[in-house]
Amino acid sequence: MDFIERQSRIEALAEDVLTDQQLAADYTRKQQEHRDALRWLQRHAQATPPGSRLATSTVSMGDFFLVVPTATAKAMVSGAQRELEAALGDVRQRLNAKTQLLSQLESGDNAAGGAS
């Protein structure tokens, strides 16, 4: 019974690790999209005169598209980037802790399996 409980715990933890890895990959991909958007906004801001009608950008907010000043758009994307970086840091910490626990469980399992 102890072996079955340990194996089920290892499987559940391994599934959590895989889920967190996928989440980290998704966050990293989104982070790159934000970097690209910030670079584009920076180039757009440098290419347009400040008082011009072209000094605005269209931003997608869920089901809505908003036309806002480029500086506001940059601030919005920068804020989202900071939130994403914090979430990614949390996921990586959880992932490290779960990976260490999984390693400990597996090494304990291998030692017990070798002694049988």
Report domain extents, the chain.
2-111
User: For a pLDDT cut of 70, what percent of the chain falls above it?
Assistant: 92
pLDDT class for 77, splitting at 50, 70, 90? very high
The second-level CATH assignment, the architecture, of 2-111 is: Orthogonal Bundle (1.10)
Q: What average pLDDT does the chain have?
A: 89
User: Is this structure's pTM higher than 0.85?
Assistant: no
Residue 58 reports pLDDT greater than 60? yes
Helix (H, G, I), strand (E, B) or coil at 79: helix
